[in-house]
Each structure stands twice: as structure tokens, then as C-alpha cells.
Structure 1
Amino acid sequence: MNLDDFEYNFIDEIYHYAGLWERKSTCGIKIVEKPNTTIVISTDLYKENPGGSITEFVAELAMLICDSYKVDISNLTFINHIPEVKSSLEFYAEAFYRVSFDVQDGKLSNPDWHKMTREEIKAMVDL
């Protein structure tokens, strides 16, 4: 897969993981360290992802990424990027969501989704 195929500034690497029902899955990730938070942007890869979508597995995926990259979950800012699919249907438009979690017993749970704009994300990560 060529990262240039996705318009990205939002992907630094491809992350492989065992997703829902242990299916091999992939997403794009970008991790940005800030003074008071670590921003993780996960990007759905559609055809390049043999597993399920990030949406179905978001709390577990965030934990896997935090464990893999030693990100403190108490300082996590998690963004889900859904790239545009060339379609006239609004459902396939690009979207960004800041996902907040409850922290219980050292695990993330109860995702809460807040829509954001591309401009807000770019300002957040200084792109």
C-alpha cells in the first residue's frame, strides 16, 4: 500500500492488530506528542484493511496502540479519521471524531464520539 494514495498528513505508519473476533486488521496511525497530551490519530484504510472498521473496536484499538507505543491513557487524545470515499453519498464523506473514554481498572471503555473538522485537527497537531 502506498501512503500517498491517502491524502495524508494524518498517517505516519500502518498499524497491524488483531481486531474484532481476532481478525487481522490494519489502520493508519499518527502519534503526536504534546506537552500535556499524546494525540493518536487512527485512520480507517477500507480496502487495505482485511478486518473490521475502527468504529467497532475503538476502545480496544486505543488500548492496543497505547500499550504498543507506551502512551499514558490518562493523557490520551484519540482521533478517528474516516477518509472520504469518492461517492455522492454523504455517508462516505471525510469525518474526524475525537473519541473520549472512561478509564476503569486501567482500561478504556464507553467511547463517546465528538465530531471535529479537518481544520480543528490540523490546528491540534500543528500541520
Structure 2
Amino acid sequence: MFAFVMRRLAVAIPTLLLLIVFSFILMHLAPGGPFSLERELPPQVLANLNAKYGLDDPLWLQIWNYLTGIVLHFDFGPSFVYPDRSVNDLIAAGFPVTLTYGTLRARFKTR
């Protein structure tokens, strides 16, 4: 049983890392940016925001910082939508509801 779990982890962890890198690259290929939703920002304000969130760093450094934050600190970074909250805060707020729903669904699942 232990060998089975280890084999599954040996496949799952690199797969998750590849999916994270792939989605990170896709987000950078998409037009626009996180601060171009509603109205045009002055160039200096946009430069300050990019510097604050590390978006002016080279792409390889952004990916490295993101992956090390996730793997070493379980930190998904700041939320661009809710400036006063982190992504971890948003996950923590929704986790109890998701856990309850998943538990109830598994308990009452019909076969």
C-alpha cells in the first residue's frame, strides 16, 4: 500500500508543478493584465503596481518566486481583485463550505 501511495505521489507532484507552470505561462500570453480591467491607469501608477507585485521581473524569476512560494510556504500570493486579502485568505474562507459539500455529496451519493 505504501509503495502504491508513493508511486501516485511521484506522478502527481510533477504533474501539478507542470500544470502550474503551464497555466502561469498561459496567463502571461493572454492580452491585458491584472490592472487593466476598468479604466486606463497612468503609466507611473501602472509601473508602481507592477513593481509592488513583482510583475516587472523577468518571467523566469516570476515563475521561480511563485513556485517557491507555493512549495515552501504554501503562499499563493496577493489577490489582485481584493487588494486587502491574500489568495490563502480566500481559500480559507471557502474551504469549510467546500469540505461540507464534498462530505455531504460523498455521504449521499447514489450508486
TM-score (norm 2): 0.23
Query: Normalised by the size of structure 1, how large is the TM-score?
Result: 0.21
User: Which structure's CA Rg is the greater one?
Assistant: 2
User: Which structure's relative contact order is higher, taking Cα pairs within 8 Å and 6+ residues apart?
Assistant: 1
Q: Which has the higher helix share?
A: 2
